[in-house]
Amino acid sequence: MLLHSQSEMEEIITTEEVNEYLDADNSFEIISPDEIKEALAYEDLPSAVGKIKDYLEQQDRVELNIAVTGESGSGKSTFINAFRGMGDEDEDSAATGVVETTMKPTAYPYKKYPNVKLWDLPGIGTPNFKAEEYLKQVEFQRYDFFIIFASDRFRECHAHLAAEIVKMEKKFYFVRSKIDANIYAEQRKKTFNKQNTLDAIRKNCIEGLESVGVNSPLVFLITCFDLTIYEFKNLEETIEKELPQHKRHVLMLALPNISLEINERKKKELEKNIWKLALLSAGVASVPVPLLNAALSISVDVAILMKELRRYYNVFSLDPASLQKLADRSGKSVDDLKYVLKSPLHAEINKDLVIKLLTGSSVAATEAAAEYFLGLIPGLGSLAAGSLSFATVYFTLKHCLDGLVTDARNVLIAALETSV
């Protein structure tokens, strides 16, 4: 049963939120929110629904290409595997510890979001290395941004490459990897001070970059063996913050569940789509499924809900393949992990389950919500299925998302328990 008071509803979706969304972010290169806004302003909801449909479809096609470059042996391939949530020995992982021989970049797509790719670039810093030629050879235009790897002292090749990337009007983040090894080595000294060691490494990189005219360079100290320590978190958050909204969305959904914070941010990204999906599901009259729920009959497009619920499972790695992988890596059994799941299993997401979820909504609460949404979204009442369907779909998705986020959190905690 879903019970929602008026204030609870306001907490979930407000007029400001709808307007804010429509106003926000001029960086949308896909469909412009103005178009949806315009459609809504003329109270022509069917046309707004069409726009939203286009918007959601385009969102699924957004590409993100991240170039990982640096000297051979600096940890590029190890990082790519970790950033994709894989071990170095997993199938489809990048080979590590091998000497690079080609000048051809290799793409490593995220399994569940193949449009998001990490590109393993050939090593830099060979004797006659020329940054300009190198960038041409790797087809620099293809990438949204670069991550430059260095695992030792800052070198001239790093500086040249960074300066050339800036010249080509691309962005880069500088990563100093293998910090674990530096700390380990420095610990032998009597005067060892961890913070001083980290500061010195950072200063060396920043000064090197500034010497070629890079302003306020961003440097991140990491270890590819464990992304939960040192500064991977800052790196990931900075990348996210600096991406245009539509690219940020796909990166968030593709990222592995490395931390509870990432889970929370994934949830926020998915939440933004709920009202659009509700509108779509309730507004598309093509293949409506009439549902009989004691006192009311509503009609929604169940396929839209099924697709989105499956997406939730994938994004939070609660699908069978991901659970198996997590079990293998954490040394727990799949049953142990499944034990903490409260939501129905991925395999059970079918029409019957969705109908059960939809009809589980409390009639009174849904009716009250329908009234509320009616005032919020012009033209909602004129839809074939109407505001009642909208409210039902809205709450169903919200309820399922909340449940799955909690499950993802518990699974992550359960998996971590054994690995430490």
Ligand X SMILES: Nc1nc2c(ncn2[C@@H]2O[C@H](COP(=O)(O)OP(=O)(O)O)[C@@H](O)[C@H]2O)c(=O)[nH]1
Rule CB under 6 A: is residue 224 a binding residue for ligand X? Answer: yes
Taking every pair of Cα atoms in the chain, the longest distance, rounded to a whole number of angstroms, is 78
**225 binds, options Mg ion, ligand X, none, Cβ within 5 to 8 A by partner type:** ligand X
Nearer to ligand X, 223 or 317 (CB): 223
The piece of 67-75, 130-138, 262-270, 285-293 that touches ligand X (CB under 6 A) is 67-75
Q: What is the DSSP string of 165-189?
A: HHHTT-EEEEEE--HHHHHHHHTTS
The span from the CA of 197 to the CA of 177, in Å, is 14
Q: Site for ligand X (CB under 6 A): which residue of 225, 296, 338, 345?
A: 225
Q: Which stretch binds ligand X (CB under 6 A): 47-55, 75-83, 258-266, 274-282?
A: 75-83
Residue nearer to ligand X on the CB measure, 22 or 181: 181
Q: Which is nearer to ligand X, 36 or 205 (CB)?
A: 205
Distance of alpha carbon 197 from alpha carbon 179, whole angstroms: 10
Residue 109, classed as helix, strand or coil, is strand
Pairing label, strands 296-300, 289-293: antiparallel
For residue 88, the minimal CB distance to Mg ion (Å) is 10
Among the listed residues 77, 257, 322, 392, the single contact to Mg ion using CB under 5 A: 77
Distance of CA 409 to the CA centre of its chain: 16
77 binds ligand X (CB under 6 A): yes
Give the residue at shortest CB distance from ligand X.
75
Question: In the stretch 309-348, what mask flags binding to ligand X with x, by CB under 6 A?
Answer: ----------------------------------------
125 part of the interface to ligand X, by CB under 6 A = no
Q: How many residues does the chain have?
A: 420
Query: For ligand X, which residue of 7, 89, 91, 97 counts as binding (CB under 6 A)?
Result: 97
Residue 97 or 127 with smaller CB distance to ligand X: 97
218, 174 Cβ separation under 8 angstroms = yes
Q: Which is nearer to ligand X, 2 or 181 (CB)?
A: 181
- 85 touching ligand X, by CB under 6 A: no
**How would you class 334 by CB atoms within 10 Å of its CB: exposed for 0-12, middle for 13-18, buried for 19 or more?**
middle
Of the candidates 284, 293, 347, which has an alpha carbon nearest to the alpha carbon of residue 321? 347
Question: Which window, 159-167, 221-229, 252-260, 359-367, contacts ligand X (CB under 6 A)?
Answer: 221-229
Q: Nearest Cα to 165, choosing from 62, 69, 29?
A: 69
CA distances from 17 to 10, 11, 21, 259 (A): 10, 10, 6, 27
Are the beta carbons of 214 and 163 closer than 8 angstroms? yes
Q: Residue numbers of the site for Mg ion (CB under 5 A)?
A: 77
Q: Residue numbers of the site for ligand X (CB under 6 A)?
A: 72-78, 96-97, 177-178, 180-181, 223-225
